[in-house]
Structure 1
Amino acid sequence: MTGFLRRHWLLLILLAAGVTLRVLTWLAYQPALLYIDTFRYLSNLDQLRPTDLNPLGYTVVLKGLLGLGGFGFVAAVQHLVGLLIALAVYRLVLRYTTRTWLAALATAPLLLDAYQLQIEENIMSEVWFQALLMGALWALLAKGAPNWRRAALAGVLIAAAVLTRTIGITLVVPFALYLIMAGGAWRTRAGWKRIGIRGLAGLLGVVIPLVAYSGYFASQAGRWGLTGAQSNVLYGRTAAIADCSQLPSGDAGLLIFCPPEPMDDRLGIDYYTHFRYGNPDWPFVPLPDGRTKEQLANEFAWTVIGNQPFTFAGAILEDFAKNFSPLKITFPNDVPVERWQFQTVYPFHDIGAESVQVYNGTTLARDGVLPGVDLELASFLRNYQLHGGYTWGPLLAIASLAGLLGALGVGRARRSGLRSAAFLATGSGLILLLGSAAFEFSWRYQLPALLLLPLGGALGAAAMFGLAKRDPGSGGRRPNMADYPDEVDDGAVAGFSARYGDGRLTPIVVVIAAYNEAKGIGAVLRNMPTHCGDLPVSTLVVVDGATDNTAEIAAENGAYVCVAPSNRGQGGALRLGYHLAAQYGAEYIVTTDADGQYDNAEMPMLVKPLLDGTADFVTGSRRLGTGQYDSKVRWLGVRVFAVLATILTNRKITDTSFGFRAMKAELATSVTLREPQYQSSELLLGVMAQGARVLEVPMTMHLRNNGQSKKGRSLKYGANYARVMTGTWLREYVLRGGKRKQRAARAERLAAATNARETA
């Protein structure tokens, strides 16, 4: 418990502050804050009309929540969702870096920003939109490069976000680009096949729900669509900037739609959208040519855009830039910032005649109370908000820059597996801000960026400054890897293919995982046999995100070199080596270490049972041969784990962690390998569970020829090694029927031997 508190102290402080602020907000405004949009949602709870201004996503959520409680209950749930989103951001960043302070800083805007607190207290869709964005990011980023299932799930979540707030449609662009970029798969022909599969799955995940919803829309509106807001939104944006002198003089219909106010006296986009176009009686003159109000509004908007493209683009960019202003102010003709600030009196928004009575009747019906404010708490929250309790715009700009630079590969990001993740988060945040600015600027529309831009900035910074998770000895247990190939695998294979082309390796390939082994790997490679029996031997060094010149030294000593863009641990590097060797023609794979602990001269004896056809997997044993130990704990651990493996598999095993092994290539690539660090027992138990013929042979093990072990402290390593061994046994023997596979394999071999004798 003390270790947990010490490790996560900054998050716990921020979380305590976030919880406190939310409790105060919930108590200050009872039963909740109701905005203009709230009444639109409420008026559609029963009919669920898809043709209203707002899509049905939040309406459906609100209908379900109000079935369980009143507005106070809904606000409490929304505050809880806000906290959960922040925790999800923290956990996601820690998937990629051990720097808890960096992950905690990424959560600070969500936990502490007063505008976030205020919107959660409102009966509005924003926090649910953020939750769907977080779900899509988690599906795509939590386990390396996405497979087609995770891409499809992310697509469905993006579709749900669109049906909650239509601006979510802009996310399709960074989503599609990420599916192309993830893992560097685009660099190889095989990679494009994976891109095609996951891209199609992601596309269907987005399209199918939206087409189904649009069909429901068409059944009531007579046309396909997602919301009834399309015409008035575009009209409002263009009416604010239209130069009426550039409209076709002979088109009376378009001239009717041009605002009568001079350019310098134009009103805001919100006014033209909701109060002029939204007025059912406007325009107050008959429309010519039989064209409808919607048709003329669309023609007017596109004519203005065609005649004034630079003015239109400049207005959007100007509104986009406002998001990074250091002060939260009301810009001329924009939505007043006061709408999103805590007030010391309950805010009754203008929703038509007798607004106060409507508010009173609505909260009485749902919660049995009149809308009210606790003056003391509201005053505290307002002072907090107005005196720095919000995310400073330039900080969002810095986070955006960090995310973009990380995505572009600046600094150490060039070889980092975080580049596409940083792009996805940062690109999504920026395109949402830009898409919102295409309509109008409002501080409300900045809120999704409080989730996305700090997250992208944290990932970009981790990539640029080498803060990604490092070797096992640096502390902390790594999360299990995704199935091969993940994002790191794709990037490494692409780099290897670019360097060596489509040539083939020798039938026997020695795979060495190396992280910062520049001092010792040269001697290991110089002593490598060139042949085993009649078969030539080549060596493949997988450089596991090293920060020294291991790769250069390995190449100088004749090895093939594959560079993984980030450090994952020996298990990740070896798994990558197995698949790469098999892809390039290896029939047999040998593993050894880069630190000189094993005697390469013993390799022919290790490989001989494979070549003779008497074994599928051969592992050395220091207990059958000779071994040196760097501690008494390690001497004891080798024996304890051998006993444990013997009990679990019902087969005599003397050494589970000997790194000098030989196996058939198809066997190495068929075993499930997800452990980045404690991988030796996972491989051994995995091949035994498949019924492979496993043989132990006496071998020699020396102490390291240089440096220190990367296995960390012996007791901690032993505990994790036991966890992996028992976990692999449960997965392979209990859940996947390993004993049944063993019996089937023995029966098959016995039948084959019997047939051979009868034939002879």
Structure 2
Amino acid sequence: MRGYPGVLWFTGDSYFYLGGALRPQPSLSKTLGYSFLLQVLEPFHSLTLVAALQHLMGLAVAVLVYALLRRHGLPALPATAVTLPILFDAYQIQLEHLLMAESVFTFLIAVSVTLILWRRRPLWWVALFAGLLLGYAVLVRSAGAAMIPVALACLVVRRAGWRACVAAAVGAVAPLAAYAVWFHSEHGRYGLTMSDGLYLWGRTSTFADCAKIRPPEAERPLCLYDNPPGRIAPGTLIWRKEVPPRQIPGGPITPENNRLLRSFALHAVKAQPGDYADAIRQGVEMAVSSQRFGYPNPNTERLYHFRERPQLFPGGRSWAGGGTALSDARAYDPGPPSRVVEPYAGRMRRYQQNVFLPGPALGVLLVAGAAGIAVAHRRRTAALTAWSAAATLLVFPIATADFDYRYVVPTLPFACLAAGLALTPLQDLGRVASRRLTRWWGSRGSLRRDSDPATEP
């Protein structure tokens, strides 16, 4: 906070969210759940306050994970050890300082998972609140959509009862339905965005071969005819002006063209399921690799590092219905939009070079969590819930858009939680062994006393 007063900026996305807070109207490209929070805080005119709240949310996530582990019987020391990556990972801290949705998104899901796991059979109103948080998380980041069926399935597996399951479903649907009605009032159609087709087209662009797909006539203009191995990452490709989706009349983000792009992507997946699975595998491998890649391009990856110089703001460009990046930043917070204060900023840069969770360690946490499902017995459904959340948050963005390092960071708390729950059977085994050893030792002592002549009456 001293090295980077205010916030760090993620080019277009940060500017979009800020513009959405200043001029709220449903967007065709992104949901505005994060902008709603910025709008609530706007009267304070302080981006420093936004960053402080996001850091507090990050700390709260660690506290929730620790509390759940203690609640499920893990001793204080291993529970603390499992929580440390959430507290000290430098990329986690840097993402909390970015004007981006991921910290709020992770916090909402962490609270929801805590409510679901705190009791085996949560009260219906607790499940309702958990569902509301999940529904709002989808409005903050669309990747949360996959968490709703996962949470409902976990409630069913945990035998939470029909009232809790129905309440959670109603709670999750309520914010989405309200947003869809607002979206309809502006665009004449019910929905959250009109951009899912573009992202799905980008996901399939790395392998789509129209000679294999043989798409309908209307979809053929969306084909790429160069060599698939030589194509650039979807997270970069979809923003290029020359790509086919941006050449079709009306652009990619219209109801008809969005439907066309989605249809093309689904045809590609159906015709090339092995290639689609391989694309997902490659993304997961990058997440657990010991090497950090410049992906989807080096400029994007550099935005996840603490900066050496203040950020320059583009001028004359419209964001979220008018305004420019600089004018919106000054309207929200009159102070300098980007500052780097030494020596504190230098200390954070050095910290980030040395203190972070390597990719292989994340893989170990995920494998340990999966093993916990098999051995956790009394806590099997809790381990299943935590691990399912981690796996869903890792795989779903890769499967529907592309790999990006900021999509991996929200996976970490739930991977730590699942791994911690996997340790609880060892604690149970230790207690059983201790009791049996105590009884055995006591019985040996009794035998010695019985055989000692000095103890005879």
Aligned counterpart, 2:261: 297
The residue type paired with residue 385 of structure 2 is L
Instruction: Give the alignment of 1:713-724 within 5 angstroms.
Output: none
Does residue 341 of structure 1 match 2:305?
Answer: yes
Task: Encode CA deviations 1:107-128: one digit per residue, 9 max, x unaligned.
Answer: 2122111111111111111111
Task: Encode CA deviations 1:91-135: one digit per residue, 9 max, x unaligned.
Answer: 222112251122212321221111111111111111111111121
Provide the TM-score with structure 2 as the length reference: 0.85
Does residue 257 of structure 1 match 2:222?
Answer: yes
Aligned counterpart, 2:239: 274
When the two chains are superposed, the root-mean-square deviation of aligned CA atoms in Å is 3.3
Aligned counterpart, 1:106: 82
Does residue 62 of structure 1 match 2:38?
Answer: yes
Taking structure 1 as reference, are residues 278 and 47 closer, same or farther at Cα in structure 2, changes over 3 Å only? farther
> How many angstroms apart in 1 are the aligned matches of 2:403 and 2:75?
35
Aligned counterpart, 1:422: 383
Does residue 95 of structure 1 match 2:71?
Answer: yes
The secondary structure found in structure 1 opposite 2:119 is coil
The secondary structure found in structure 2 opposite 1:368 is coil
8 Å CA contact retained: 1:141, 1:421: yes
8 Å CA contact retained: 2:7, 2:48: yes
> How many angstroms apart in 2 are the aligned matches of 1:175 and 1:467?
29
8 Å CA contact retained: 1:335, 1:442: no
Aligned counterpart, 1:726: none
> How many angstroms apart in 1 are the aligned matches of 2:177 and 2:301?
36
For residue 27 of structure 1, report the CA deviation from its aligned partner. Answer: 1.6
8 Å CA contact retained: 2:112, 2:131: yes
Aligned counterpart, 1:373: 340
Taking structure 1 as reference, are residues 466 and 394 closer, same or farther at Cα in structure 2, changes over 3 Å only? farther
The residue type paired with residue 91 of structure 2 is Y
Taking structure 1 as reference, are residues 74 and 173 closer, same or farther at Cα in structure 2, changes over 3 Å only? same
> How many angstroms apart in 1 are the aligned matches of 2:215 and 2:371?
49
Aligned counterpart, 1:593: none
Task: Encode CA deviations 1:626-663: one digit per residue, 9 max, x unaligned.
Answer: xxxxxxxxxxxxxxxxxxxxxxxxxxxxxxxxxxxxxx
Aligned counterpart, 1:324: 288
Aligned counterpart, 1:205: 171
Taking structure 1 as reference, are residues 173 and 206 closer, same or farther at Cα in structure 2, changes over 3 Å only? same
Unaligned runs of 5+ in 1: 1-25, 186-193, 475-514, 520-547, 549-704, 706-760
Aligned counterpart, 1:235: 201
> How many angstroms apart in 2 are the aligned matches of 1:60 and 1:147?
29
The secondary structure found in structure 2 opposite 1:340 is coil
For residue 172 of structure 1, report the CA deviation from its aligned partner. Answer: 2.1
8 Å CA contact retained: 2:315, 2:326: no
For residue 390 of structure 1, report the CA deviation from its aligned partner. Answer: 1.1
> How many angstroms apart in 1 are the aligned matches of 2:267 and 2:371?
38
> How many angstroms apart in 2 are the aligned matches of 1:445 and 1:249?
31
Does residue 43 of structure 1 match 2:19?
Answer: yes
May I ask how many residue pairs the two structures share in their alignment? 433
8 Å CA contact retained: 1:79, 1:121: yes
Task: Encode CA deviations 1:178-214: one digit per residue, 9 max, x unaligned.
Answer: 21222xx4xxxxxxxx633322222222123322322
The residue type paired with residue 448 of structure 1 is P
Aligned counterpart, 1:32: 7
Taking structure 1 as reference, are residues 169 and 403 closer, same or farther at Cα in structure 2, changes over 3 Å only? same
More strand by percentage = 1
8 Å CA contact retained: 2:369, 2:422: yes
Does residue 218 of structure 1 match 2:184?
Answer: yes
The secondary structure found in structure 2 opposite 1:293 is helix
> How many angstroms apart in 2 are the aligned matches of 1:299 and 1:352?
36
8 Å CA contact retained: 1:170, 1:435: yes
Larger Rg: 1
The secondary structure found in structure 1 opposite 2:237 is helix
8 Å CA contact retained: 1:28, 1:375: yes
Aligned counterpart, 2:398: 437
> How many angstroms apart in 2 are the aligned matches of 1:434 and 1:117?
22
> How many angstroms apart in 1 are the aligned matches of 2:250 and 2:167?
49
> How many angstroms apart in 2 are the aligned matches of 1:449 and 1:249?
36
Aligned counterpart, 2:449: none
For residue 31 of structure 1, report the CA deviation from its aligned partner. Answer: 2.3
8 Å CA contact retained: 1:239, 1:259: yes
> How many angstroms apart in 2 are the aligned matches of 1:127 and 1:140?
20
8 Å CA contact retained: 1:110, 1:451: yes
> How many angstroms apart in 2 are the aligned matches of 1:300 and 1:457?
39
The secondary structure found in structure 2 opposite 1:275 is coil
Aligned counterpart, 2:455: none
> How many angstroms apart in 2 are the aligned matches of 1:72 and 1:347?
16
Task: Encode CA deviations 1:483-519: one digit per residue, 9 max, x unaligned.
Answer: xxxxxxxxxxxxxxxxxxxxxxxxxxxxxxxx97997
Between the two proteins, what is the percent identity of the paired residues?
28
Task: Encode CA deviations 1:331-350: one digit per residue, 9 max, x unaligned.
Answer: 57687421211121234477
Unaligned runs of 5+ in 2: 441-445, 447-457
> How many angstroms apart in 1 are the aligned matches of 2:81 and 2:397?
26
